[in-house]
DNA sequence: AACGGAACCTGAAAGC
DNA sequence: TGCTTTCAGGTTCCGT
């Protein structure tokens, strides 16, 4: 699931369940989600009894701040999600981590981290430790910071990789993934293969607007009474071209193409993206 | 330094 | 039907 909109959804789920609560119980089912060599018992020790003071998101990373000064950095990888539950709910399929918090009610609130493919991370930093370097290196987040067109223009001027893989570099814009990059380039009518440095300021402005709009739209789709991730199995594909290779371009009706750029599938319209 | 490709994992869908 | 192959929205490491 996870690009910026899905991670923002996860942030809200965690905030609703955990903010200002004390962590009563921690369970790590699979140590591979942790940093190499870190033992589940150490994570349990660091987190138990602490109070959650903030849940932040930057790009695709989440940061849970504890009153002890410890922090948890959570990344959903390709298939991770945080799900709200009750403490007496059974262990869920693919559950890798669980946090239970005390509430005034009888039942205890619980959040479960599910991740079949195990590309996600759950990294705990002790009170005096520095933040994760990847977190610190993240570029501007389109939702939190907006996109400064001149700054982006200046940054892209130094890159000769195609624009599509450049957009996936999290130090360029934090949170843009394969879908948002694909959709944004389509809306801005830019060929994904163009070297990043060749884009004009005008094109970059169009791209920034398209990405911002695409993210806002995807977040809006997740809201409403029944919160669910977009693109769950069976859900209709809500995107303009992502996943629609071979079908007619929504703009010019010629068939959408699919190529591989820097190892990632890339759908585009060879006729109206230039 | 910059780049392509493999690696990390598992499940679902497509292909045969 | 059932076995095999391919692909997946992310990141990081390794060799050239």
With contact defined as beta carbons under 8 Å apart, do A196 and A161 qualify?
Answer: yes
Protein-covered nucleotides of chain B (CB closer than 7 Å) are: 2-13
CA of A104 to C1' of C11 (A): 40
Same structural domain for residues A125 and A28? yes
Same structural domain for residues A130 and A22? yes
Q: So what's the pLDDT on residue A226?
A: 43
Q: What is the DSSP letter of A198?
A: G
Could you tell me which residues are beta bridge partners of residue A267? A258
For residue A142, is it within any domain? Answer: no
Answer yes or no: is A119 CB < 7 A from strand B: yes
Q: What is the DSSP letter of A131?
A: P
b/e sequence A113-132, b meaning 16+ C-beta within 10 Å: bbbeeeebbbbbbeeeeeeb
CATH of the domain at A94: 3.20.190.10
Same structural domain for residues A120 and A184? no
CA distance A128 to A130: 7
Protein-covered nucleotides of chain C (CB closer than 7 Å) are: 7-12
CA of A260 to C1' of B5 (A): 13
Task: Kindly report which amino acid residue has its CA closest to the C1' atom of nucleotide C11.
Answer: A77
Q: So what's the pLDDT on residue A227?
A: 44
CA of A158: nucleotide with nearest C1': B2
Same structural domain for residues A70 and A115? yes
For residue A259, is it within any domain? Answer: yes
Same structural domain for residues A111 and A54? yes
Same structural domain for residues A124 and A181? no
- Which of A136, A164, A183 terminates a domain? The answer is A136
CATH of the domain at A208: 1.10.8.50
Answer yes or no: is A165 CB < 7 A from strand B: yes
- Which of A88, A110, A136 terminates a domain? The answer is A136
Active site residues of A: 2-3, 60, 264
CA of A78 to C1' of C2 (A): 29
Same structural domain for residues A61 and A11? yes
Same structural domain for residues A188 and A119? no
Same structural domain for residues A173 and A116? no
For residue A228, is it within any domain? Answer: yes
CA distance A264 to A249: 20
CA of A236 to C1' of C4 (A): 28
With contact defined as beta carbons under 8 Å apart, do A241 and A267 qualify?
Answer: yes
Same structural domain for residues A115 and A158? no
For residue A154, is it within any domain? Answer: yes
Same structural domain for residues A132 and A8? yes
For residue A171, is it within any domain? Answer: yes
Residues near chain C (nucleic strand), Cβ < 7 A?
A 1-3, 6, 59-61, 75, 77-78, 117, 119, 134, 168, 170, 177-179, 229-231, 263-265
Query: Which residues contact residue A160 at a Cβ distance below 8 angstroms, ignoring those fewer than 6 apart?
Result: A195, A196, A197
Q: What is the pLDDT along chain A (274 residues), one digit of tens a residue?
A: 588 999 999 999 999 999 999 999 999 999 999 998 999 999 999 999 999 999 999 999 999 999 999 999 999 999 999 999 999 999 999 999 999 998 877 778 999 999 999 999 999 999 999 999 999 999 999 999 999 999 999 999 999 999 999 999 999 999 999 999 999 999 999 999 999 999 999 999 999 999 999 898 888 887 754 444 445 555 678 899 999 999 999 999 999 999 999 999 999 999 999 9
Same structural domain for residues A52 and A132? yes
Q: Range of A188's domain?
A: 149-268
Nearest 5 degrees, angle CA A174-CA A178-CA A183? Answer: 100
* Structural domain count, chain A: 2
* Chain A 42-61 residues whose Cβ is under 7 Å from strand B: none
For residue A86, is it within any domain? Answer: yes
For residue A143, is it within any domain? Answer: no
- A198's tokens: 């060749």
Q: So what's the pLDDT on residue A26?
A: 97
- Which of A102, A136, A170 terminates a domain? The answer is A136
pTM (predicted TM-score): 0.95
Q: So what's the pLDDT on residue A2?
A: 83
Other Cβ atoms less than 10 A from the Cβ of A245: the count is 15
């Amino acid at each position: 699931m996870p690009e910026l909109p899905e991670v923002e959804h996860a942030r809200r789920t965690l905030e609703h369940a955990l903010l200002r609560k004390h962590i009563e119980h921690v369970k790590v089912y699979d140590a591979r989600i942790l940093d190499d060599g870190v033992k589940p018992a150490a994570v349990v020790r660091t987190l138990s009894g602490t109070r959650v003071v903030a849940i932040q998101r930057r790009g695709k990373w989440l940061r849970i701040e504890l009153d002890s000064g410890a922090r948890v950095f959570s990344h959903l990888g390709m298939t991770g999600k945080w799900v709200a539950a009750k403490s007496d709910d059974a262990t869920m399929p693919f559950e890798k981590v669980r946090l239970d918090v005390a509430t005034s009610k009888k039942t205890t609130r619980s959040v479960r981290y599910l991740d079949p493919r195990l590309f996600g991370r759950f990294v705990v930093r002790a009170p005096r430790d520095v933040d994760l370097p990847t977190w610190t290196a993240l570029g501007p987040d389109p939702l939190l910071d907006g996109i400064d067109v001149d700054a982006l223009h200046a940054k892209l001027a130094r890159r000769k990789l195609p624009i599509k893989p450049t957009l996936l570099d999290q130090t360029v814009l934090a949170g843009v993934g394969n879908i948002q990059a694909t959709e944004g380039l389509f809306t801005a009518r830019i060929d994904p293969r163009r070297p990043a440095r060749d884009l004009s300021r005008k094109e970059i402005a169009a791209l920034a607007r398209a990405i911002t709009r695409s993210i806002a739209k995807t977040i809006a789709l997740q809201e409403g009474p029944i919160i669910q991730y977009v693109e769950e199995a069976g859900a209709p594909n809500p995107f303009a071209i992502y996943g629609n290779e071979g079908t007619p371009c929504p703009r010019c009706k010629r068939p959408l193409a699919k190529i591989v750029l820097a190892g990632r599938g890339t759908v585009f319209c060879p006729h109206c993206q230039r």
